[in-house]
Structure 1
Amino acid sequence: MKNSDFQGLLQNFFLERLINQQKVSYYTIQSYKDTFRIFLKYMNDEHGVSAYTITMEAINADTVVEFLNYLESHRKNKCKTVNNRLAAIKSFMEYISYEAPEYLSIVRRVKAIPFRNVEKKEISYLTKEEIDALLNTCKSSTPDGRRDYLMILLLYNSGMRVSEMISMQRKDVIIPSNGSCHLRIMGKGRKERTIPLWQTTTKYLIQYMNEHEIHNNDYLLSGRNVEHLTRSGVRYRIACIAKEASCKCPSLEYKSVTPHVFRHSTAMSLLQSGVDISTIAIWLGHESIETTHKYMIADMKLKENALKKLHEPEPRYLNSRYNAANDILQFLKSL
């Protein structure tokens, strides 16, 4: 493999590795594409190395670290975004490790670059009263209002990601003879899962599909001048609904109501209803149960806060309580 073959390696990484072998989603392709587009522009602007002349030797650990710092300082990217860019580069390096093993020394050093520590915020979710306030704000007298109502119902009932919802078609709605409805969802890594719907959601969904004559390959949620709603379109509509609903439900004013908040709300609702964490992980399409564990932690904090509001009994202490010697206390203090 020659140094000038970087361009060929990168093309094969996208065409062979990501698209043909891993069959990653459209959104993953776009994210990885943006990473290398920004990286190549950075190499040209900061190091004077064009995309046509760049070699594998130029993509070393020092350069990658400088690129990550550039993202943070110049592009003002947050740690989560920087980590996503690094993950894309590491994935490319993993491909290089067996496709061009002569670059293993470069690969090892790049893959050893640590991810940024991301501040873990408390999980934000909506209560049933807040969900009801959002639904009641949707204007059932207009087509857009009825679409918004269905959008919120689907997000809360299924807990699916916004990208999964906007790509859903009529053929993904399964209605058996007994009338119970299921959604077939294609998640991350092209992992398919099936989610049951409440009777109220089922009834509204069927009515909506009949009203709009939605057929097999039609998208459930149409947009203006586009085949289906976009992610930005969903965010905009939810922001508008939340702003209006906050007038009657003040607690919404202090929450960031995004499409992903409904996913958290579904998980917390299932957990508080007694559904086990393994089922919730399957419901949400989590690859690892560790991802779902954060909801258990959030629920425990709620219980601890409730406990603090209870009146504690006066403590009783035994007179024979053990007292540590001063020297051991000093020792522990010095640690």
Structure 2
Amino acid sequence: MKQTLFTKQLAEYFNIYLPINKKCSKNTISSYADGFVALFQFFKEIKGIPHYRINYSDITTKTMDEYLLWLQNEKNYSAASQKQRISALSSFLKYASGREMASLGAYNAVSQTQTPKVPRTVFPYFSAEEIHILLGIPETEGKSGSRDVTLLALLYDFGARAQEVCDILIGDITFAKTSTIRIQGKGNKTRELPMSSDVVKLIKRYLAERGKTLKDNRDEYLFPSQRSDRITTACIRNLVCKYVTLAKSNHPDHFKEEGYSPHSFRHSKAVHMLEAGVPLIYIRNFLGHESVQTTEIYLRIHQGSVSKILKERKAETNIPDTLEQSHSKNQDIPDFIQNAR
């Protein structure tokens, strides 16, 4: 299949420029890749152009205006999500414009695109009681339930990003008097965090049910998917959505916020640490923030009482078998984008 100049340069951007020249982390590259998935879907569904036929001449000011309206009205993307997708395209076209004159028109068109302002809103997070409810939903007997409760516990207990959980290797775990886990964060920065006895028990049981050990399976990912050696952020989003939906159904007086996501566990951990009197500088280091100013957003959150989070993890209820998204090969996006996600 003959590539257009756009597709050819986009492949070089993801395969060479981002990982080798710029030395971007896997998380950063994955974020850029996600920014193009919606673009390819728009061109196919609205313009009738498959990804392998898109060229720079197709990216005009009019097309970008239509794309933004489609993101907003058809995909229901937030202002922040719209901005992220335009930013990903703009970054690539800036790269391309320094190498190919044909891309200049497209770069100018995207540069002139007016994205909506991102409102500064309070982020959705879970109360201590809601964390207790969520961690009590998965059936802990069996591989799927054991995996789910362990994954949710790691999202919360370590304030981990979804991609960070995807990247955890069995060898990143150390069982000792003070058990620890190594988290690979943004910018390839690692942080080593202590594990509570509750989380240690969950991980040990989960590994035992999978027949895995720290000694023999160090290079394997802690959380594989049904079709791959590791779970994806999309799978984690689906998992969180599933259990939040169940929790809302069973506890209609809780979970009142909109837009819960895997990141809500990270927000929750930070808020609960702040409520417990943990110094902001320690929370910054715990979350792996570059600047304490990023962490200061949690100072805006005020709740009445300090909750005893780590003691609230024991309830168990029955749920249907876990539903995991199928990750068969998507023909609507290029392989290099699919591999980068």
Q: Structure 2 length normalisation: TM-score?
A: 0.69
Match of 1:13 in 2: 13
**Aligned letter for 1:131?**
I
Match of 1:151 in 2: 151
Where does structure 1 lack aligned partners over 5 or more consecutive residues?
Answer: 304-335
Task: Tell me the CA shift for residue 280 of structure 1.
Answer: 2.4
Task: Tell me the CA shift for residue 171 of structure 1.
Answer: 1.3
* Counterpart mapping for 1:79-118 below 5 A: 79-100=79-100, 107=107, 110-111=110-111, 113-118=113-118
1:206 maps onto 2:204 in alignment: yes
3-state DSSP of counterpart to 1:274: coil
Counterpart CA distance in 2 for 1:281 and 1:121 is: 21
Deviations 1:12-63, CA, capped at 9 Å, x for gaps: 3222222322334262353144255346548954xx99965844x6645555
Match of 2:270 in 1: 267
Task: Tell me the CA shift for residue 211 of structure 1.
Answer: 4.2
Task: Tell me the CA shift for residue 266 of structure 1.
Answer: 0.6
Which piece of structure 1 moves more, 145-154 or 242-251? 242-251
| More helix by percentage | 1
Change (3 A) 1:164 1:67: same
Counterpart CA distance in 2 for 1:137 and 1:42 is: 38
Change (3 A) 1:218 1:86: same
Match of 1:69 in 2: 69
Counterpart CA distance in 2 for 1:106 and 1:76 is: 25
Counterpart CA distance in 1 for 2:52 and 2:239 is: 40
Match of 2:137 in 1: 137
Change (3 A) 1:70 1:127: closer
In percent, how many aligned pairs have the same letter? 25
- Alpha carbons 1:170, 1:220 under 8 Å: kept: yes
3-state DSSP of counterpart to 2:192: strand
Match of 1:220 in 2: 222
Counterpart CA distance in 1 for 2:141 and 2:66 is: 55
Change (3 A) 1:131 1:72: closer
Counterpart CA distance in 2 for 1:248 and 1:83 is: 35
Match of 1:295 in 2: 298
Match of 2:327 in 1: none
Counterpart CA distance in 1 for 2:67 and 2:250 is: 47
1:192 maps onto 2:190 in alignment: yes
Task: Tell me the CA shift for residue 91 of structure 1.
Answer: 0.6
Counterpart CA distance in 2 for 1:254 and 1:7 is: 43
Change (3 A) 1:278 1:99: farther
- Bigger Rg over Cα: 1
- Alpha carbons 1:44, 1:51 under 8 Å: kept: no
Counterpart CA distance in 2 for 1:50 and 1:271 is: 46
- Alpha carbons 1:123, 1:298 under 8 Å: kept: no
1:23 maps onto 2:19 in alignment: no
Change (3 A) 1:206 1:287: same
Q: CA RMSD in A?
A: 3.7
**Aligned letter for 2:124?**
S
Match of 1:169 in 2: 169
Task: Tell me the CA shift for residue 81 of structure 1.
Answer: 2.8
Task: Tell me the CA shift for residue 9 of structure 1.
Answer: 3.3
- Alpha carbons 2:80, 2:118 under 8 Å: kept: yes
- Alpha carbons 1:43, 1:49 under 8 Å: kept: no
3-state DSSP of counterpart to 1:168: coil
- Alpha carbons 2:142, 2:209 under 8 Å: kept: no
Counterpart CA distance in 2 for 1:255 and 1:33 is: 29
3-state DSSP of counterpart to 1:217: coil
3-state DSSP of counterpart to 1:252: coil
Match of 2:308 in 1: none
Change (3 A) 1:292 1:103: same
Match of 2:311 in 1: none
Task: Tell me the CA shift for residue 282 of structure 1.
Answer: 3.2
Counterpart CA distance in 2 for 1:213 and 1:71 is: 44
Task: Tell me the CA shift for residue 72 of structure 1.
Answer: 3.1
3-state DSSP of counterpart to 1:184: strand
1:180 maps onto 2:181 in alignment: no
Q: Structure 1 length normalisation: TM-score?
A: 0.70
Change (3 A) 1:23 1:232: closer
Match of 1:307 in 2: none
**Aligned letter for 1:19?**
P
Counterpart CA distance in 2 for 1:97 and 1:109 is: 12
- Alpha carbons 2:35, 2:86 under 8 Å: kept: no
**Aligned letter for 1:254?**
K
Counterpart CA distance in 1 for 2:98 and 2:106 is: 13
- Alpha carbons 1:223, 1:229 under 8 Å: kept: yes
Report how many aligned residue pairs link the two structures. 293
